[in-house]
């Protein structure tokens, strides 16, 4: 409210900032939607305003309850809470009143064209290289014509009559421009079944619920002059607009459910073990930056620093590598207890935990894994062998470290046999003692440490990578280790 640094005209607005996110419940929340929500939410928080959730469900055929709840879930998971909520299907009366007004003032008219006719008109317009695809033929229907359509049983749509003067669009991100009225379509604002359409309901609600700033994706840019025209015809005061650039795939195309499936679903990332903090931090940097050095932002910092004036104009590519980097950063930020809490559901889902494991042991495992997690899901390949001796010996690792000739394998068997004996006879089973004993053995016999260790690692874990091997040995415990080594020797 006292913002002088924003660079937008927000500072001039006396009233409270009110922004909204208006998803249509026709699927899950996707990355682009999450970013729109986040930008709006941050803008609201930054200005001490209100963030409103509006469910744009005027398309009854495609809207589902299930989808609505998925969107709620995803938003809540991200920590994007809303102060008010509206559902368009419950507000039908409001739209009907405005439509009646539009009809009465002559700013809207009934259109009796059938979908087939419209398609023909469109095809013709295109062939003629026309700017508009509807020729406005129903603007001036004689009463006889109307009557015959009605007796034919045709149900009309209602179209808005576009003005013949330019429409000025001011955009906080893209700047201002005038739209040539010749390019404007007499949009259908009410379907023949009586349901109002997006361009009508959207602007009416924005005005009705007193939205001060409409922050949405640039796919809506062409809708803006149409919506302004509707508001003008109704003599309504329009909000400010800010169109934010699209989120693109690696090929530079808009990310969409249609083309990318659940690759764009926020919930998918949640299931894979991405942290909401990482998602937020990642997504906010798609199109927004603070300065030339900061990449990591806490939510509080974002609220403090977010500014529409620093939103770029061009689309940004979704780069999973960067998300992964941020995610591992935020996972590593968690202390061992919190990280253990975060990882337990993943062990459970994998069926690795049967409630006999004690907390201290689990925390030790997480401690040993250290900074090796990119996603929480990574805990599975990193730690499966702690919970079960039933694993495959990874072929590539076997070939490299156990050897691919009979001679080399004999050698490995010998090493493992010796190591087994050392571990068996060690008076205590702690890292220092074992390490000293093993090093003594390898150095004395001129065996490369790495060779012995990797041979043992594969015997114990099936893989050639992972935490410090002495951590693993101790965490597995003497009994288990003494079982796994002979098994490996037999398998060799």
Partner RNA sequence: GCCGCUAUCGUCUAGGGGUUAGGACGGGUGGUUCUCAGCCACCAAACCGGGGUUCGAAUCCCCGUAGCGGUACCA
Q: Which residues are catalytic?
A: 257
Name the minimum Å distance from CB 375 to RNA. Answer: 12
**Of the candidates 8, 36, 58, 412, which one interacts with RNA according to CB under 7 A?**
58
Identify which range of 99-107, 187-195, 263-271, 272-280 contacts RNA by CB under 7 A.
187-195
- Residue nearer to RNA on the CB measure, 8 or 197: 197
Q: Does 193 bind RNA (CB under 7 A)?
A: yes
Among 115, 153, 351, 427, binds RNA (CB under 7 A): 115
Beta carbon of residue 74, minimum distance to RNA (angstroms, whole number): 16
Q: Shortest Cβ distance from residue 424 to RNA (Å)?
A: 20
Which residue, 114 or 232, is less far from RNA as judged by CB?
A: 114
Taking the C-alpha atoms of residue 174 and residue 99, their distance in angstroms, rounded to an integer, is 31
Tell me the torsion sign for CA atoms 222, 224, 229, 230.
positive
Does 467 interact with RNA (rule: CB under 7 A)?
Answer: yes
- Residue 140 is a binding residue for RNA (CB under 7 A): no
Please identify, among the stretches 37-45, 267-275, 384-392, 467-475, the one whose residues bind RNA according to the rule CB under 7 A.
467-475
| 176: helix, strand or coil | strand
Q: Is 450 in the site for RNA (CB under 7 A)?
A: yes
Closer Cβ to RNA, 58 or 212, answer by number: 58
Give the residue with the Cβ less far from RNA, 319 or 335.
319
Contacting residues for 315 by C-beta, under 8 A, at least 6 apart: 218, 245, 246, 247, 248, 252, 254, 287
Q: Nearest-5° angle of CA 299, CA 303, CA 309?
A: 130
Closest residue by Cα to residue 470 from 425, 435, 427: 435
For 313, residues 6+ apart whose C-beta sits below 8 A from its C-beta are 173, 174, 245
> Contact between 198 and RNA (CB under 7 A)?
yes
Three-class SS of 435-484: HHHHHHHHHHCCCCHHHHHHHHHHHHHCCCCCCCHHHHHHHHCHHHHHHH
Q: Specify whether the backbone of 399 is left (phi greater than 0), alpha (psi in -120 to 50) or beta.
A: alpha
Please name the helix (run of DSSP H) or strand (run of DSSP E) that holds residue 190, with its range, or none.
strand 188-190
| Cα dihedral: 283, 284, 290, 295 (round 10) | -40
Residue 223 CB, shortest distance to RNA, in Å, is 5
Q: Which of residues 281-320 bind RNA (CB under 7 A)?
A: 285-289, 291-293, 295, 310, 312-317, 319
Interface with RNA (CB under 7 A), residue from 454, 458, 481, 488: 454
Q: Inter-axis angle of helices 449-461 and 478-491, to 10 degrees?
A: 100
Closer residue to RNA (CB): 161 or 310:
310
| Residue 169 tokens, joined | 């669009």
Q: Does 139 bind RNA (CB under 7 A)?
A: no
264 counts as binding RNA under rule CB under 7 A: no
Looking at the DSSP assignment, which residues form a beta bridge with residue 176? 170
Q: Does 487 bind RNA (CB under 7 A)?
A: no
**Cβ closer to RNA: 191 or 478?**
191
Q: Please state the closest distance from residue 180 (CB atom) to RNA, in A.
A: 6
In the complex, minimum distance from the CB of residue 355 to RNA, in angstroms, rounded to a whole number: 29
For RNA, which is the closer residue by CB, 199 or 383?
A: 199
- For residue 187, how many other CB atoms are within 10 A of its CB? 22
- Output the CA angle 277-281-283, nearest 5 degrees: 115
Two tokens, residue 116: 């087939």
Piece in contact with RNA (CB under 7 A), picked from 3-11, 79-87, 160-168, 365-373? 365-373
Q: Is 83 in the site for RNA (CB under 7 A)?
A: no
468 binds RNA (CB under 7 A): yes
Return the range that interacts with RNA (CB under 7 A); candidates 2-10, 72-80, 250-258, 383-391. Answer: 250-258
Q: How far is the CB of 210 from RNA (least distance, A)?
A: 19
Q: Select the residue interacting with RNA from 77, 325, 391, 393 (CB under 7 A).
A: 325
Nearest approach, Cβ of residue 170 and RNA (Å): 12
Location of structure tokens 């968690």: 334
466 binds RNA (CB under 7 A): yes
Produce one character per residue of 1-13: b if its CB has 16 or more CB atoms within 10 Å, e if not. eeeeebebebeeb
Q: Which is nearer to RNA, 73 or 185 (CB)?
A: 185
Residue 340 lies near RNA (rule: CB under 7 A): no
Number of residues that bind RNA (CB under 7 A): 87
Neighbours of 484 (CB within 10 A): 21
């Amino acid at each position: 409210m006292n913002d002088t640094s924003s660079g937008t005209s927000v500072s001039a607005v006396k009233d409270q900032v009110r922004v909204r996110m208006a998803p249509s419940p026709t699927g899950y929340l996707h990355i682009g939607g999450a970013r729109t929500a986040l930008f709006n939410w941050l803008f609201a928080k930054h200005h001490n305003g209100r963030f409103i959730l509006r469910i744009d469900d005027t398309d009854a055929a495609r809207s589902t309850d299930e989808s609505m709840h998925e969107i709620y879930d995803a938003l809540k998971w991200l920590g994007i809470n809303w102060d008010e909520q509206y559902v368009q299907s419950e507000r039908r009366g409001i739209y009907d009143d405005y439509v009646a007004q539009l009809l009465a003032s002559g700013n809207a008219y009934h259109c009796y064209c059938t979908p087939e006719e419209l398609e023909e008109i469109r095809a013709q317009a295109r062939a003629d290289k026309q700017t508009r695809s509807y020729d406005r033929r129903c603007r001036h229907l004689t009463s006889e014509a109307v009557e015959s359509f009605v007796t034919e049983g045709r149900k009309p749509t209602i179209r808005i009559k576009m003005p013949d003067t330019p429409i000025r669009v001011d955009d906080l991100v893209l700047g201002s421009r005038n739209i040539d009225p010749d390019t404007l379509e007499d949009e259908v604002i009410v379907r023949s079944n009586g349901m109002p359409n997006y361009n009508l309901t959207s602007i009416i609600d924005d005005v009705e619920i007193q939205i001060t700033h409409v922050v949405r994706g640039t796919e809506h840019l062409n809708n803006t002059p149409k919506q302004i025209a509707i508001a003008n015809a109704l003599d309504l005061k329009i909000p400010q607009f800010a169109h934010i650039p699209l989120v693109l795939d690696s090929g530079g195309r808009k990310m969409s459910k249609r083309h990318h499936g659940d690759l764009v679903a926020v919930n998918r990332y949640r299931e894979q073990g991405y942290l909401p903090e990482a998602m937020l931090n990642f997504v906010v940097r798609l199109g927004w930056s603070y300065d030339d050095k900061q990449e990591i932002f806490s939510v509080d910092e974002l609220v403090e620093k977010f500014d529409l004036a620093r939103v770029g104009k061009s689309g940004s590519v979704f780069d999973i590598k960067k998300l992964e980097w941020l995610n591992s950063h935020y996972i590593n930020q968690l202390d061992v207890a919190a990280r253990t809490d975060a990882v337990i559901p993943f062990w459970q889902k994998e069926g690795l935990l049967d409630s006999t494991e004690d907390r201290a042991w689990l925390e030790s495992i997480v401690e040993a894994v250290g900074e090796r997690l990119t996603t929480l899901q990574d805990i599975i390949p990193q730690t499966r062998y702690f919970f079960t001796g039933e694993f495959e010996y990874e072929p590539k690792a076997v070939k490299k470290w156990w050897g691919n000739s009979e001679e080399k394998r004999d050698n490995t068997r010998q090493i493992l046999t010796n190591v087994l004996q050392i571990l068996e006879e060690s008076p205590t089973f702690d890292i220092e003692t074992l390490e000293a004993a093993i090093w003594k053995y390898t150095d004395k016999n001129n065996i490369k440490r790495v060779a012995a260790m990797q041979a043992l690692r594969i015997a114990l874990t099936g893989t050639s990578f992972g935490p410090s091997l002495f951590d693993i040995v101790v965490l597995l415990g003497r009994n288990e280790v003494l079982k796994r080594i002979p098994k490996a020797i037999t398998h060799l």
